[in-house]
């Protein structure tokens, strides 16, 4: 098939295969060494769990990076109409893109897996050829399944931003959060309460964890390796079985192991059917498909009579913004109106609001410790993760898309300088993104007020100020990324990789500290030097939690406030590092003061934006 061959050649060239192979090697080194009981329980299969886990973790993100613009990118550039002007059908386009890109992704996966297995064979001296061949075959199916899902999303969606947001969200949900959220979410919806230690029909909830694509891959590969099957790597399944039952024979799965095969095959089948149907019914023009959300948005009741006057006093022509120095105001005003007149930021605010309201039922210990501050503590994670990811997705292509469309040349022909262009983009987008999130914080506090009382005004204002600064920093980071990259696909890949790095930052920071100092770091016992926390606190979300924990009068830590309070209790062991518990004082060194963390958060804005300013001044607009 010509499309498949062209896609394979396009994706296999360059640095992509090397980067995927490097990620597989790095991820395979994250798990700690297996203890003797696990090694004995794995038997001949001990050579494969590291490769199994690396493929399960890396492939979803690699497929998302390779596939999220596979078809929507062709539609935005107009090449889709050229391709479909030949004898090529829309179904052939979707299938060809899927086959070509999955083959390009399978190349580095199948090339790196023997290296990972070989390392384990050298360490443990055990190997099974049938298991090795079966693992390669199942990994190839897994690659094809994830590629089909991402290509189908790209075929159905009408813009790169929406395709990236949905692909990234689905990847995170299925590969990271599915097993942890399934039980709690479904139990809460069915019973209206949080799941406890004793649950009715636990087998049903365990079986539901198998539905996700990574879980199905784990199930069938665990079955192949002859260990207790479940939605986890072979080493984890053996460890859990020995811990709970003392023997592998006593571990019984909720469903027959072969059920994982139809689940694994159903994902690409349903995805391809959905992608083909979507592209056949849709318009090839970007933005031509009016989705349900946008149709509902256009039919929303008008609130102009209530909201236009206050906002126009600030953002309108002749408003307060025009008093500020510079000529960036028209561009900021355009970006603000562009985002506030679309449903994306309001959906983001609604998601944060719902997550905040769902967090208003903590344990009695947390309620007693925080009192009226419970809603703010519950919002730390939704604001940091949902809001942070949403902000990056709303900004990662703002400059590169303007460059591709030629709009930057129009802006350059006005009196606005290049530096003022970036300032206007950052301020306009950050203001628009911050507005619904601030409303979500206020709404959550109002919902919680009858139960917990009103938050002290000083605490609320300080929390809102820190939140506004956090989202301005992330907006500056996203706009800087869009300025420095030449292609939308590259910017999207960086966003996806950054999300994966943040989720694995606990293991990565431990590995980096060990490489820099030679001191091994346990998952539950921090080293004697407090400089370790400089690495742990490096991501912007961690710095935001340090600052807001200080505002909420919670002990100094980069964990969320509720987790910090829980960690302070006796006989509780987590990977959250509370500074006072670990080092005897809330601020054992000046660089661990929350004010310094606030300065580091500002650096996440200043440094990328400064670099982007310099590059943007010197780079051609084409």
In a domain, 602, yes or no: no
Q: Do residues 226 and 316 both lie within one domain?
A: no
In a domain, 583, yes or no: no
322 or 253: which carries more pLDDT confidence? 253
In a domain, 318, yes or no: yes
Check if the beta carbon of residue 261 is closer than 8 Å to that of residue 220: yes
The mean pLDDT of 477-503, rounded to a whole number, is 81
Check if the beta carbon of residue 357 is closer than 8 Å to that of residue 379: no
Q: Do residues 215 and 178 both lie within one domain?
A: yes
In a domain, 511, yes or no: no
- Above 50 in pLDDT, residue 122? yes
- What residue spans of 68-128 are helical by DSSP H? 72-77, 79-84, 90-124
Q: Do residues 272 and 317 both lie within one domain?
A: no
- Above 80 in pLDDT, residue 67? yes
Q: Do residues 182 and 123 both lie within one domain?
A: yes
Q: Do residues 276 and 310 both lie within one domain?
A: no
In a domain, 571, yes or no: no
SS3 state of residue 256: coil
pLDDT at residue 112 in the model? 92
- Above 70 in pLDDT, residue 319? no
- 450's CB contacts (< 8 A; 6+ apart) are none
Q: Do residues 344 and 244 both lie within one domain?
A: no
The Cα 175–Cα 181 span in angstroms is 11
Of 552, 555, 538, 554, whose CA–CA distance to 596 is shortest?
538
Angle in degrees, 0-180, between the axes of helices 457-484 and 374-381, rounded to the nearest 10: 10
Domain count, the chain: 2
In a domain, 60, yes or no: yes
Q: Do residues 331 and 434 both lie within one domain?
A: yes
Range name among 192-201, 211-220, 611-620 with the lowest pLDDT average:
192-201
In a domain, 574, yes or no: no
Q: Do residues 99 and 209 both lie within one domain?
A: yes
pLDDT at residue 605 in the model? 93
Q: Do residues 267 and 302 both lie within one domain?
A: no
Of the three residues 441, 461, 479, the one that is the final residue of a domain is 479
399 or 33: which carries more pLDDT confidence? 399
pLDDT digits (tens, 9 = 90+) for 582-591: 888 888 888 8
pLDDT at residue 201 in the model? 58
Range name among 106-110, 336-340, 470-474, 495-499 with the lowest pLDDT average:
495-499
Q: Say how many CA atoms lie within 13 Å of 228 toward its Cβ.
A: 23
Q: Do residues 122 and 227 both lie within one domain?
A: yes
The token duo for 509 is 């920071």
Residue 198: band (very low, low, confident or very high) from pLDDT cuts 50, 70, 90: very low
Q: Do residues 239 and 97 both lie within one domain?
A: yes
Residue 476: band (very low, low, confident or very high) from pLDDT cuts 50, 70, 90: very high
Place of tokens 């794995």: 42
The Cα 318–Cα 337 span in angstroms is 16
Q: Do residues 226 and 91 both lie within one domain?
A: yes
- State the residue range of the domain holding 27: 2-281
The Cα 381–Cα 514 span in angstroms is 28
The Cα 26–Cα 19 span in angstroms is 10
Of the three residues 281, 302, 321, the one that is the final residue of a domain is 281
Handedness of CA 149, 151, 155, 157 (dihedral sign): positive
Rounded-to-10 torsion of CA 175, 181, 183, 186 = -120
Check if the beta carbon of residue 332 is closer than 8 Å to that of residue 427: yes
Of the three residues 448, 479, 510, the one that is the final residue of a domain is 479
Percentage of residues of the chain with pLDDT beyond 70: 84
What is the pLDDT of the chain when averaged over all its residues? Answer: 82
pLDDT at residue 308 in the model? 44
Residue 504: band (very low, low, confident or very high) from pLDDT cuts 50, 70, 90: confident
Percentage of residues of the chain with pLDDT beyond 90: 27
Residue 320: band (very low, low, confident or very high) from pLDDT cuts 50, 70, 90: low
Of 14, 19, 43, 48, whose CA–CA distance to 31 is shortest?
48
pLDDT digits (tens, 9 = 90+) for 525-551: 778 788 888 888 899 999 999 999 999
Q: Say how many CA atoms lie within 13 Å of 493 toward its Cβ.
A: 18
SS3 state of residue 316: coil
The mean pLDDT of 257-262, rounded to a whole number, is 89
In a domain, 526, yes or no: no
């Amino acid at each position: 098939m010509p499309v498949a061959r062209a896609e394979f050649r396009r994706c296999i060239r360059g640095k992509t295969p090397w980067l995927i192979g490097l990620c597989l090697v790095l991820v395979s080194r994250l798990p700690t060494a297996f203890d003797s009981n696990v090694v004995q329980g794995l038997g001949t299969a001990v050579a494969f769990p590291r490769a199994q886990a690396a493929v399960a973790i890396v492939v979803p993100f690699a497929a998302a990076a390779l596939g999220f613009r596979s078809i929507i990118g062709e539609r935005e550039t107009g090449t889709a109409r050229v391709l479909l002007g030949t004898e090529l059908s829309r179904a052939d386009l979707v299938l060809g893109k899927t086959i070509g890109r999955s083959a390009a992704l399978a190349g580095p996966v199948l090339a790196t897996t023997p290296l990972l297995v070989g390392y384990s064979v050298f360490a443990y001296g055990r190997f099974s050829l049938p298991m090795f061949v079966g693992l390669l075959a199942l990994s190839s199916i897994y690659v094809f399944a994830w590629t089909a899902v991402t290509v189908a999303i790209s075929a159905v969606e009408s813009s790169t931003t929406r395709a990236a947001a949905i692909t990234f969200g689905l990847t995170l949900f299925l590969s990271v959060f599915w097993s942890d959220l399934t039980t709690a979410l479904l139990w809460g919806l069915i019973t209206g309460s949080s799941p406890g230690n004793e649950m009715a029909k636990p087998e049903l909830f365990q079986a539901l964890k198998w539905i996700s694509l990574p879980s199905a891959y784990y199930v069938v590969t665990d079955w192949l390796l002859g260990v207790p099957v479940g939605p986890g790597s072979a080493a984890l399944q053996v460890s859990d079985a020995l811990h709970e039952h003392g023997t592998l024979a006593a571990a019984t799965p909720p469903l027959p192991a072969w059920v994982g095969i139809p689940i694994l095959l159903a994902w690409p089948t349903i995805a391809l059917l959905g992608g083909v149907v979507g592209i056949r019914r849709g318009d090839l023009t970007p933005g031509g498909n009016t989705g349900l959300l946008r149709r509902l948005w256009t039919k929303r009741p008008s609130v102009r009579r209530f909201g236009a006057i206050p906002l126009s006093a600030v953002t309108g022509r002749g408003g307060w913004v025009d008093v500020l120095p510079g000529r960036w105001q028209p561009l900021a005003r355009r970006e603000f109106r562009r985002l506030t007149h679309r449903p994306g930021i309001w959906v983001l605010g609604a998601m944060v609001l719902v997550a905040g309201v769902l967090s208003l039922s903590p344990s009695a210990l947390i309620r007693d410790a925080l009192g009226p501050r419970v809603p703010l503590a519950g919002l730390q994670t939704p604001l940091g993760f949902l809001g942070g990811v949403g902000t990056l997705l709303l900004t990662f292509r703002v400059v590169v898309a303007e460059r591709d469309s030629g709009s930057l040349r129009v802006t350059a022909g006005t009196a606005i300088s290049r530096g003022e262009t970036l300032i206007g983009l950052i301020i306009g987008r950050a203001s628009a993104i911050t507005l619904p999130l601030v409303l979500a914080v206020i709404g959550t506090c109002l919902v919680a007020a009858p139960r917990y009382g009103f938050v002290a005004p000083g605490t609320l204002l300080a929390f809102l100020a820190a939140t506004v600064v956090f989202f301005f920093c992330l907006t500056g980071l996203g706009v800087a990324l869009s300025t420095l990259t030449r292609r939308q696909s590259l910017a999207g890949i960086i966003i996806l990789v950054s999300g994966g790095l943040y989720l694995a930052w606990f293991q990565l920071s431990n590995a980096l500290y060990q490489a820099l100092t030679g001191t091994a770091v346990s998952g539950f016992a921090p080293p004697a030097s407090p400089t370790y926390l400089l690495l742990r606190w490096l991501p912007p979300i961690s710095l935001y939690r340090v600052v807001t924990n200080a505002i909420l009068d919670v002990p100094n830590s980069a964990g969320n406030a509720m987790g910090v309070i829980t960690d302070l209790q006796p006989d509780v062991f987590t990977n959250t590092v509370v500074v006072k518990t670990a080092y005897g004082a809330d601020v054992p060194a000046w660089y661990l003061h929350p004010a310094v963390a606030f300065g580091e958060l500002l650096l996440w804005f200043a440094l990328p934006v400064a670099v982007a300013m310099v590059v943007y001044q010197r780079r051609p607009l084409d």
